[in-house]
Each structure stands twice: as structure tokens, then as C-alpha cells.
Amino acid sequence: MTGKLLFDGAKCSACGACAVACMDQNDIDTDSGQVPYIRAVCREEGLRFEYIARMCLHCTVPPCADACPQQCLYKDRQTGLTLYDNTACVGCGCCAVACPHGAITFRKTPDGPSRGRMEKCDACHIRQEAGLLPACVRACPTGALRLSCTGPMPDKSDDFERKRK
Amino acid sequence: MSSPDERLRAKIPGADTGITTKNSVCDICAPGPHCGVTCYVREGRIIKLEGMEDHPVNRGLLCTKGLAGRQYVYRRDRIMTPLRRVGERGVGQFEPITWDEAFREIIPRLRTVKEEYGPSAVAFFSGYNKWYRPFLQRLCYSFGSVNYGTESSSCFTSTIMSWRLATGESFAAPDLRNAGVFLGWCYNAYYSAYLMQRGVEAARARGMKIIIVDTRITPAVEKQCDLFLRIRPGTDCALAHGIARELILTDRIDHAYIGEHVHGFQPYRDYVMAFTPERVEELTGVPAAQVRQAAAMIGANGPLAVNHSGAALVHSGNGMQTHRAVMALTALTGSYDRPGGMIPAPLTYAHSMAGFTTLDHEFPLEKYPHHQPRPVGAERFPLWDELTGEMQANDLARQIREGTPYPVRAVWAHGMNFRMFGADGELQKALKELDFFVDIDLFLTDTAKLADIVLPCCSSFERGEFKVFGGGYAQFTEPVIKPLGQSRPDDEIICELAKRLDLDDDLLRSGPEACVRYILRETSIDLDELKKDRQHPHRVPGFRPVPPGAHGFHTSTGKFELWSTVLEKYPRFDPLPTYRDSSDGADPEAFPFRLVAGARLPHVLHSRLHDVPWLRSLRPEPMAEISVEDAAALGVHEGDRIEIETAAGRLSIAALPTARVLPGTVHIYHGYREADANALLPPYHNDPYSGFPGYRNTRCRIRRAQEVME
């Protein structure tokens, strides 16, 4: 069973580990301005500090898929995730405008559109298929990121203290 | 099932993708918490990495910094060959040369300085990291120079000195598993010790109380603390005394322990009585009621464990005494060397603590050159000299430039970074004046650009090395990839130099592994056995940690010394951990703000990660954190430029207004080329006990930067 990412702001410190793990997993090209598929940030309001993650929530009815004129984005039946094939992407940015979570990023390539081709989180579903955790969940040092499924996937953050005897 | 192409893109290890996994260690930060790393390797290159699942230190986790290890190793400015300077110092014009050519130039030039000025005119310096330090120290002494020194002249050693004065032992760690109350002085593990945050969280779940003392509202304050004491930078010593006074007056101290194990309680008691909660409030900004509350919480919830702060607490003009004052609370409550308190931890190997001892200390010292002058800094910082015997590198710039008490004309350095020093412009100038300067580094840094010869060393992923880990573990690591270009491990470079200099040191000349065997010869570690599996740390045979209570006190009185019998010999020092102004002494009217240089961020470490693009993207521009109130008064918004000026200089930087910092304070991370916070420290702003620069408390003023009209 493939899981979605779950985020617990109470445990997050906006340390950036998830973002860097995502950069490493997906070779995010920060030099050209690309941002990773997940970014946890802290918002301040007076003395209130709120931690939020900008990431794909794999909406049941994904507005990005509806907005894309090239039909790059789709709901994958098997995994329940919002996946994409950006071969036909023209970099119009409609998906990014439609997404309420700021989850879409663009990668510039010499042969691609000037804005770059859209990319986003795929919940590392191929890693999950291979029995591995998504890169960001694997990396999160505070346990703020988890996987929604309760299948055979071991969640190392739960038993960290038990093992660290 | 995904196709092999998809699996390759997703970096799945397997025969179909040609990706294998190999374990190594991350050595971006200090050696104590080095974490195991699993590298995904394809065609000889690391393509991804993650925390090693079954490593006893990190159990699969990794921090923000370590997760960028791949880009760190493949940084664009990695040095691929030895280099010889062809332009002016600092410009960065070099020509590639061979290792042989490099040594052919180095050997006569080091010998010339030695013959003309004496062996101690050559200083041997280690920046970060620390893994090769026993080798470098021995090289220095075998060469005949006393001037071995490190960047630990600014980090960690002050706490070691403080523990040595109090207990004779080098270090003690909080026993979080059994503590009843944790005094998190400068504790924000979320940014600087991510694994400790998990330990504290587990202890909190079983009911441990947590008091945090900090000037910033950090994630640890938000998420983990029962009582937050928000303090003005550099005034911590007064707060510790205030808490001590309350503990004594409310009779929450351990009389039996004090009677048996503590020296100097009476004069200490008399001294701290002046620190009433009201006076402490005046000095520190912590409300009097909270001082009482903290003492009551400690008194009601022992045993007391205290956070170890290798940097923040000791980075003021009164840093070492402040650390002593805080650790005195463990003596009062009888929690030093007791379960749930502070557990003494001897250094094992190359600045790591693993619960057992080796000959790592003796290995360099047996070559110590007697009949030489005292090391650099001994006159200015005599306590440092007595307790460490090493060069206090914060006096190096002065001695190079003034030539007193004797000349230093050449420096052999590994990973030197002048921006780590207070008043770092002085060191930059001094390095330019040297007769000869060799720097060994992974990257062509701004300090390396000042060198005559630059030698390329490799990262932890490219070498094999002996490592120890907490809990009695040892490993001989294995290279994950070949060294980049012609880079070599530092220990090999050191042994090669010993050979080429034809030093009277057969052991060092015979190479790193022979030295490691020598250092381990009184342990139960069989290196050949250890090398059979280089992928994992192994528990040292027969390892048994020393139980709490069995360590004893290795001071001249055989007790925990609140009154130091070492310090009483020095007329200029106070035997008690006294409070005094820890700033640089600039006029508070002219410089009403306090500059805190080096306040931690989760994605940087000194300057070594500033040029790693992934990490730099998390905060592209250096920023000064100022309070929301001060920003409003100045009319400054996020990203606006402000000018920060101290008695020593000024810089311009983007402002980051935040409720996290106190009004009247400015926090800047250090090591940025374009906004060098440490350059704002005056050259005399050092703790006289330790020599550490007062990074965390320099008086300053700030203003909105003037628009430049041209």
C-alpha cells in the first residue's frame, strides 16, 4: 500500500532537513531557482510560532490536474497519488496557480520552456514500492513527517528511543 | 512494478540500476556526534545519501547539514591538485603542481625558518575537523615546535578547562535517562544537536522537568520547556549565582555530598549571597520571581542534569567563569558523578568520547619538545597555557605581527579559517606577513588563498579512518568513493611530511595505521579483527562503562572545587567563579545594543556550508535578527539593510525582525564573506581565563543603512 505524507506542525522546527533530503533525492536545481517539493517554514504572529509545510497533499480531486491544458497531471488509481508526466509541459504555470498549497516547482532545462517544466512531489512512490520510506520522511529528525499507510513500512521515528538503548 | 528506468531515476539500489549502498561517516560537524551515513553509489559517484539505519549514534537519522553531504563533497571549489601561489596573497592565483613538487618546495622552506628562528617559529594549526589532530600534534612536537594549536582555541576547550578546575576530569555529560530536572542552559538541540532533542523528548515523556535559559525564543523553548528564563546575553553567571543563593537559603542542597566532596563551599556561599533575586533581575533581565521558581523546580525534582554548551555559554568575556558558575549547581545538589546528574566522560580518541581510554593523549606528548619557549599566547593567557599546553591561537595574529616574545614566521595549517577568529582582520593581515604558509583544505577558501602552497585533502567519504563512538564502539571506516582529483587524507599528508622532513620519529614516518595500532596497544581492540567489517561500528570487547560514583575527583583537594586551588596561585584570577561584565567594555551610551555573533541556525556550520547551494538556498542572504520592537523604532522591515557598528568596525546586512530575539540585541551567524560578524570584535575582547573571544556579547549600535546617492 502506498502512503501519503502527513505533517505534524507541533513537532516541526523548520530545520530544513526534509527540504534538503528532497533536493538530494530529486537533484533539485537550486542554482536556477528551483525549490524542493517540500519546504517547512515557521510563520510568526506576535509570540505565536506556527510551523507549516508547503507540499503536495495529493488532493482527492486535484485542482492542478483540472487546470493543466496539456493533461500532464492525473490521479493515479493504483496509488491514490496525484502523479504527472511532464513531457508535454509547456511551462504555462496554470497548475501552480491552481494549487492552493504552493506545491508545484519548475525545473529549467536548455530544451524546455523558458519557465521550466513542472515538477512536484510523487510521495517517492517508487521508493515506497521498493520498501523504502519517502526521502523527507526518512530524514525528518523530529518525527514531524510520517506516512499515512499502516502497512508493512517500518516507521523508524517511532521506535528510535527504544532502539537507542 | 516500475521499470528499471523509473527505478534508476528514483535511485533504487539494485542490480538493475547499478546502484549500491556503502556506509561511511559524516564529519561536517564536531566529532562527538558524528553520524553514520549510507551512501548510494553509482559508477563511482555518490548520487544520494541518508542516515545509516543501524548506527549506534544516529539510528538512521541525519541533520539538515549532513543531508547535504553530497553537495559538500562535490562542491565546485574542491581543490583537485596541490597548488603553488603565483599571484599576490589573497588574490587566488595559483598554478597546479604535483605532490612531489609541493614537498620539494615545502621541505627547504620549513627548514630555513627552523634554522633561522628556531623550531617554534613554525606553528602547526588545525581548523575543522578534528579527526587527524593526534597526528598533527605529534608532527609539530617531533619537528621541535611547541606551537601546536587549533580552532578549539575558540570552541569547547573553555568548558574542558572549567571541568578540569572543578573536578580534574575533562568533561561531563547530562544523564538524561535518569535526570529529574534538566537545566537546558543555552539548549536548542533542534538547531545544533538534533539527536539530543530526541533524548530530551523521551525524558520529558517520562516526566523530567525542563528549564531553559536562553536569550532567544528557540524551538526548544516553544516545544520542550516547563520554565523559560529569558536572559540578556553574557549575564548568565549572575543568574547561576542567583539560583544557587535560592537553593542554599531554601535548604535544597545536598549537605552530605557537599561535606564529603566539595571544596570551598563557605567562601562560595558568602559570595553568592550578594546575588539576590532582585539584583539578578537587574543584571540579567530574568524576573526575580522566575529565579525563585527555577530554584524551587530544581530543588523539588532532582537529580539535576545540565546542558553542555561548548560554544554559546563560554563565548563571552567572562565565559569560563560563567561555565563554572553553572556547573557549581551540580555540586550544590550533589548531582556530579551521580545517576541522573552529570556523568564524567574521558576523551577517548581524537576529541571523541566513547567511554574508554586510549593512548591518544600520550601519543603526541611523548614527543613534546622540552627546552623550547612557551607556546603562543602563554603570556596573555597563562591559565590556558597551564591547563592545555597548546598554542592559544587567538594570540597568533599578534605574535606573528609583533614578533614577541619570539617570532613565528611559518604556518602549516589544515583547514584554517581566519573568519573563525575574533577580530579576524588581524589574522588575515598576519598571515600575509608570514615567510611561508601552507594550507591544506578541501576547498580553495579565502584563507587558502593567502597560502604559498595549498594541498588538497579529501572528505570522510573518500578515506578510511579509525573512529570511536559513544557507548564503547569502534570502527575502521572504508572509502565510499575514490579521493577526488589528487586529494589525500590529512593523516597521510602528515606522515608523508614527517618522512620527507626525515624527522626523528620512526612511528610517524611509518604511516597512519601503525600510529593507530600504537595508540590502541593498551586497549582490547584488535585492529585486524575490526578491519574485517569496515561497514559497521563494533562494540569494543569487554567494554564496561565506569559506573556513576566511581570516577572520583582528580583535583589537588580530591574534591569538586568551587574554590579553585589552581586559580588561587594567580594574582590576576579569582578562585571563585565570579561575575563581571562580559562585554568588550565599550561605552554603553554610545553602543547601547549587544551583538551576538554565531547564534546557531539549523543549516550552517561555521563557513563550510555557506557555499553549498542547497543549504544556501534555505537562507540566500546573511541576515541580522533584531527584535520586532527595535525594527519598528528604526522603521526597518524584513530585508531592509541596516548598519551595525562596534568599537572595532561596521558592516551592512539585511535585517530580519523577529519576536525570537530580545530588544537591544542583534544576532548574526558568522563566517559570511559579505557580512563577517567576527570582524566586529575588538582584538582585545577575550576571556582572560580561556582566551576565547567574546563573540556573544560585544556592544554595538545599529541604524537603518543610508541610501547611497551617486
Which residues in chain A have their CB less than 8 angstroms from residue B197's CB?
A: 141-142
A interface toward B at CB cutoff 8 Å? 10-11, 13-17, 19-21, 23-25, 28, 30-31, 35, 44, 46-47, 49, 124, 126-127, 129-130, 132, 135, 138-139, 141-142, 156, 160-161, 163-164
Fill in the DSSP letter of residue B306. E
What is the interface size between A and B, counted as CB pairs within 8 Å?
A: 119
For residue B7, list chain A residues with Cβ-Cβ distance below 8 A.
126, 130
Subunit contact B60:A138, Cβ cutoff 8 A: yes
The closest CB to that of B613, out of A14, A30, A47, belongs to: A30
Question: Smallest CA–CA separation between A44 and chain B, in Å?
Answer: 8
Q: Which residue of A20, A28, A126 is in closest CB contact with B12?
A: A126
Residue type at B504? Answer: D
Spatial CA neighbour of B248 closest among B267, B229, B230: B267
Chain A residue closest in CA terms to B70: A24
In the predicted model, what is the mean pLDDT of residues B540-566? 95
Q: Which residues pair with B213 in a beta bridge?
A: B185, B229
* CA–CA min distance B39, chain A (Å): 11
Average pLDDT on B466-490 reads 97
Nearest residue in B to A49, CA atom: B222
A53: which 3 cell numbers?
509545510
CA-based nearest distance B184→chain A, Å: 17
Q: Is the pLDDT of residue A1 over 90?
A: no
Q: Is pLDDT of B205 > 60? A: yes
Instruction: Check if the beta carbon of residue B436 is closer than 8 Å to that of residue B696.
Output: no
How confident is the model over B160-183, as a mean pLDDT?
96
Type of residue numbered B514: A
CA distance A81 to chain B (A): 15
Q: What is the pLDDT at residue A73?
A: 98
Q: End-to-end alpha-carbon separation of chain A, Å?
A: 31
Q: Does domain B172-344 have CATH number 3.40.228.10?
A: yes
The strand pair at B122-126 and B148-150 is best described as: parallel
Closest by CA position to B235, among listed B694, B709, B701, B598: B694
Judge contact between B9 and B19, C-beta under 8 A: no
pLDDT digits (tens, 9 = 90+) for B246-265: 999 999 999 999 999 999 99
Q: Find, among A87, A105, A85, the residue nearest to A95 by Cα.
A: A105
Of A31, A44, A139, the CB nearest to B62: A139
pLDDT range class, residue B166, cuts 50, 70, 90: very high
Identify all chain B residues contacting A14, using CB atoms and an 8 Å cutoff: 219, 602
Is the confidence at residue A3, as pLDDT, over 90? no
Nearest to B208 by CA among B378, B403, B340: B340
ipTM for the predicted complex: 0.96
Calpha distance A152→B602 (Å, rounded): 32
Q: What is the pLDDT of residue A165?
A: 33
The CA dihedral of B467, B412, B170, B185, to the nearest 10 degrees, is -90
Neighbours of B401 (CB within 10 A): 14
Domain ranges of chain B: 19-73, 83-155+349-532, 172-344, 593-704
Specify the CATH architecture of the domain B83-155+349-532.
3-Layer(aba) Sandwich (3.40)
A154 pLDDT higher than 60: no
**pLDDT at site B554:** 96
Residues of B in contact with A126 (CB under 8 A): 2, 6-7, 9-10, 12
Average pLDDT over residues A99-103: 95
Residue B548: per-residue pLDDT:
92
Q: What residues in B contact A44, CB-CB < 8 Å? A: 658-660
Residue B13's nearest CA partner among A130, A128, A137, A153 is A130
CB contact under 8 A, A15 and B615: no
- pLDDT (0 to 100) of residue B706: 79
**pLDDT attached to residue A148:** 85
Mean model confidence pLDDT for chain B? 96
Q: What share of chain B has pLDDT > 90, as a percent?
A: 97
- Are the Cβ atoms of B59 and A164 closer than 8 angstroms? yes
Q: How far is A158 from chain B (nearest CA, A)?
A: 11
Q: Do B10 and A127 touch (CB under 8 A)?
A: yes
Tens-digit pLDDT profile for residues B308-343: 888 999 999 999 999 999 999 999 999 999 999 999
Region B18-27: mean pLDDT is 97
The CATH code for residues A5-151 is 3.30.70.20
Which member of B6, B7, B618 has the closest CB to residue A16? B618
Architecture of domain B593-704: Beta Barrel (2.40)
Optimal mutation site among A2, A8, A20, interface B, most CBs of chain B within 10 A: A20
Q: According to the model, what pLDDT value does residue A54 have?
A: 95
Cβ-based contacts of B219 with chain A (< 8 Å): 13-14, 49
Mean pLDDT on B349-369: 95
Is the Cβ–Cβ distance between B606 and B670 less than 8 Å? Answer: yes
User: What residue spans define the domains of chain A?
Assistant: 5-151
User: What is the average pLDDT across B386-412?
Assistant: 98
CA closest to A135 among chain B residues: B50
Residue-level pLDDT at B707: 61
- Distance CA(B629)–CA(B67), nearest Å, equals 36
Best of B54, B67, B216, B230 to disrupt the A interface by mutation (most A CBs within 10 Å)? B67
Paired with A39 in beta bridges are A54
Q: What's the CA gap between A61 and A71, in Å, rounded?
A: 14
pLDDT tens by residue, B57-108 = 999 999 999 999 999 999 999 999 999 999 999 999 999 999 999 999 999 9
- Chain A residues close to B222, C-beta within 8 Å: 49
Residue of B nearest to A42 (CA): B219
Q: Do B67 and A139 touch (CB under 8 A)?
A: yes
Which residue in A13, A124, A159 has the most chain B C-beta atoms within 10 A of its own C-beta, making it the best mutation to test that interface? A13
For residue A111, give how far its alpha carbon lies from the nearest alpha carbon of chain B (Å): 19
Average pLDDT over residues A38-59: 95
Are the beta carbons of A16 and B48 separated by less than 8 Å? no
All residues of chain A having their beta carbon less than 8 Å from the beta carbon of residue B70 are 24
Distance of CA B373 to the CA centre of its chain: 27
Chain B hits for A158, Cβ within 8 Å? none
Is the previous residue joined to B108 through a cis bond, with omega within 30 degrees of 0? no
- Flag whether pLDDT at B424 surpasses 50: yes
Pairing label, strands B83-85, B45-51: unpaired
Q: What is the pLDDT of residue A158?
A: 43
Max distance between CA atoms of chain A, in angstroms, equals 55
User: Is residue A150 predicted with pLDDT exceeding 60?
Assistant: no
Question: Which residue has cell 511532464?
Answer: A86
Rounded to an integer, the average pLDDT of A82-107 is 96
In the numeric block, which cell numbers belong to residue A152?
508493512
State yes or no: pLDDT of A152 exceeds 50: no
- B80-117 burial, b at 16+ Cβ within 10 Å, e below that, comes to ebbbebeeebeeeebeebeeeebbebbeebbeebbeeb
Residue B510: pLDDT band (50, 70, 90) is very high
* Residue-wise DSSP of B494-547: HHHHHHHTT-S-HHHHT-HHHHHHHHTTTSS--HHHHTT--SS-EEPTT--PPP
Residue B153 has pLDDT above 70, yes or no: yes
Q: Which top CATH class is B19-73?
A: mainly beta
Which residues have C-beta within 8 Å of that of residue A163, sequence separation ≥ 6? B59
Give the rounded percent of residues in chain A with a pLDDT score beyond 70.
Answer: 90
